[in-house]
A and B are shown apart, each in its own frame.
Chain A
Amino acid sequence: MKQTPSQTVGPFYAIGLTCKPMNVLATDSTQGQRIRIEGRVFDGDGQPILDAMVEIWQANAYGRYNHPDDKQEKPFDRSFTGWGRSGTDEKCFYSFETIKPGPVPGPGDTVQAPHLNVVVFARGMLVHAFTRIYFSEERANESDPVLNSIKNKDRRSTLIAAREERQGNTIYRFDIRLQGKDETVFFDM
């Protein structure tokens, strides 16, 4: 059977997809370091997009996904689904309140640096785009198999969120550029 074709979310996805907030992943009982992710999605003219939507999927603080196909014997955090969705606000920002994930296994014996798996949607995007968010302070980024598979080394930096401390909170800024010289790396997976 052939895959059902993708179509754009269009300009009115909010009534169906973001009418309730779904961008807070960390609850009081979630284990791990609290972080905030925020950023904007830019079009080919460098303009921030008002009708984009971002979803994330991530492992828990120990590096285990809340899914039966993750067979690792790492601790399971019942309070953490690992999934979130954010539309864009009036200033075109998306944001998530979550925890920093642990490292997860890569192909063979490799280990992947902590990362968030990201899906980007927008009016004008006929197919969603897959990308990843890595964390700027992680030494493990240097040996990450996916980052290292990006042949153009200059482009790897498009996947690294910049860390800042704001009033005692850890915030990562991650802008997504759909086109242009700093176009974010998107994956075929």
Chain B
Amino acid sequence: MKIPEYKPRDWKSHPPYVFKAYGSSVKRGPLRKLVPVRQTSSEITGPLFGDIKLEAGENDLTRNADTGKEAMGERIIVFGRVLDENERPVPHSLIEIWQANAAGRYRHAVDQHNAPLDPNFIGAGRCATNDKGEYRFLTIKPGAYPWLNHPNAWRPAHIHLSLFGPSFVTRLVTQFFFPGDPLIPLDPILNSIPSPSGRRRLIASYSHDVTEPEFALAYRFDIVLRGRKSTPFEKTRR
């Protein structure tokens, strides 16, 4: 079988497994050298979720608690494109997101931060990219929240995302941040990314064009997944 391989993980873009300033990584990041694997059908295939049934409203976190009431907080539109390294759109691909509420609290038993839960906000949603690789969520701007990593530690407001792409090796879990947040330079999780440009790529940009008058501000977050090593089809013309 001919194997159209994917480009390797770019370790200048991704964090190392262990980054001391992020305390939890010290005992949980693998320490041995990774064993290289030549890509086979096991690696270049992967779950496509072609038959997944997304219900209407799964990408509207302001209302998907199904209480009939809207979540509290600042409504925002989160949108963008999923592309690969060769600038090709990644169409019909599942995106899952999760986040804290406007007060900076997750609806999770482990989160004991003394901030109110919102009965009308779950903090999770899903959608699939369209044929151009575009996605869109409506949600609430998450709050910052404290954590125990170091004294007076606060996570900047962020939204977690999970993506699959077309193969097993294109899997990505990441999170994005909001422009102008003063906590961003202090965050050891973001700072684990070795290059300044890599860190910048996790900060969404404000989009006045997509902002809806008298409704919601819009933030654009584009995502780049691993692409094929060679392009077996015609080159894209731009």
* A residues at B contact (CB < 8 Å): 1-17, 19, 43-45, 49, 51, 55, 57, 59, 65-67, 69-72, 81-83, 104-107, 112, 115, 117, 119, 121-130, 132, 145-146, 149-150, 178-179, 183-189
Q: How far is the CB of A48 from chain B (nearest CB, A)?
A: 12
B209 at the A interface (CB under 8 A)? no
Q: Chain B contact residues: over half helix, strand or loop, or mixed?
A: loop
Are A5 and B193 within 8 A (Cβ)? yes
Task: Of the listed stretches B68-76, B178-186, B210-218, B219-227, name the one at the interface; the rest are far from the partner chain.
Answer: B219-227
Are B28 and A125 within 8 A (Cβ)? yes
Q: How far is the CB of B144 from chain A (nearest CB, A)?
A: 14
Q: How far is the CB of A108 from chain B (nearest CB, A)?
A: 10
Q: Give every chain B residue within 8 A of A117 (Cβ-Cβ).
A: 42-43, 168
Closest partner residue, chain B, to A159 (CB atom): B35
In angstroms, Cα B4 to Cα A65, docked, is 15
Closest partner residue, chain A, to B18 (CB atom): A126
Q: Give every chain A residue within 8 A of B227 (Cβ-Cβ).
A: 1
* Contact residues, B158-175 vs A (CB, 8 A): 160, 162, 166-169, 171-175
Q: Give every chain B residue within 8 A of A45 (Cβ-Cβ).
A: 27
Q: In this complex, which of B42, B111, B122 has the most chain A Cβ atoms within 10 angstroms of its Cβ?
A: B42
21 contacts between A and B (CB under 8 A): A1-B224, A1-B227, A2-B13, A3-B225, A5-B201, A8-B189, A12-B100, A13-B160, A15-B106, A69-B41, A69-B167, A71-B1, A81-B47, A123-B24, A125-B28, A126-B19, A127-B16, A129-B17, A149-B35, A149-B36, A188-B35
Closest partner residue, chain A, to B22 (CB atom): A126
Are B97 and A16 within 8 A (Cβ)? yes
How many chain B residues have a CB neighbour from A under 8 Å?
81
Are B8 and A129 within 8 A (Cβ)? no
In angstroms, Cα B106 to Cα A9, docked, is 13
From A17, A49, A72, A82, B98 is in contact (CB under 8 Å) with A17
Known: A16-B96, A107-B38. A2 touches B160 (CB 8 A): no
- Given contacts A11-B108, A65-B41, A126-B19, 9 further A-B pairs with CB under 8 A are A3-B225, A6-B172, A7-B173, A17-B162, A66-B48, A179-B30, A186-B32, A189-B43, A189-B169
Q: Give every chain A residue within 8 A of B19 (Cβ-Cβ).
A: 126
Q: How far is the CB of B168 from chain A (nearest CB, A)?
A: 5
In angstroms, Cα B45 to Cα A82, docked, is 10
Q: How far is the CB of B87 from chain A (nearest CB, A)?
A: 6
Q: How far is the CB of A40 from chain B (nearest CB, A)?
A: 13
Q: Give every chain A residue within 8 A of B224 (Cβ-Cβ).
A: 1-4
Q: Give every chain B residue within 8 A of A8 (Cβ-Cβ).
A: 22, 24-25, 173, 189
Are B122 and A15 within 8 A (Cβ)? yes
B231 at the A interface (CB under 8 A)? no
Q: How far is the CB of A132 from chain B (nearest CB, A)?
A: 8
B55 at the A interface (CB under 8 A)? no
Q: How far is the CB of B57 from chain A (nearest CB, A)?
A: 16
Are A126 and B42 within 8 A (Cβ)? no
Q: In this complex, which of A12, A51, A115 has the most chain B Cβ atoms within 10 angstroms of its Cβ?
A: A12
B78 at the A interface (CB under 8 A)? no
Q: Give every chain B residue within 8 A of A49 (Cβ-Cβ).
A: 28
Closest partner residue, chain B, to A10 (CB atom): B160
Are A44 and B46 within 8 A (Cβ)? no
In angstroms, Cα B175 to Cα A19, docked, is 19
Are B108 and A187 within 8 A (Cβ)? no
Q: Give every chain A residue within 8 A of B45 (Cβ-Cβ).
A: 57, 65-67, 69-70
